[in-house]
Structure 1
Amino acid sequence: MLNNLRDVFGVKNIFRSNEFDKISKQELSTLEKLIGKTCKEIMVIDLRGSSVKKNFCGL
């Protein structure tokens, strides 16, 4: 799923393997441009199987 997100958004490191809760400002800017101002909720599943919902809402 993460690879699909990277392909869709054209951002190679949307979520780093050891920093699932951190996204760079440049990546946020890229996501904002691609997603627009609408809210999108993206489920992130890390290597341990934990899931975190990321809400991109007019960042």
Structure 2
Amino acid sequence: MINKAVGSWLREAGKKDENRLKQFLDKFGAIMPRVTLRYALEKFDKDTKEYYMSLKKF
């Protein structure tokens, strides 16, 4: 449940400053929990989602 909340907060912060969210995801996207990353990426286009999900080492 916490991972969903954090992802939602990241998504909402990204509405204010998308570039800053992308910088954060570039730095931490590969190590954050999958659920958090998915929620943070909800509003991005398909190509951007695929890029950040590919950083994740499953």
Say yes or no: TM over 0.5.
Answer: no
TM-score range, shorter chain: 0.3 to 0.5
- Structure whose residues are more often helix by fraction: 2
- Structure whose residues are more often strand by fraction: 1
Larger RCO, structure (CA 8 Å, separation 6 or more):
2
TM-score of the pair, normalised by structure 1 = 0.33
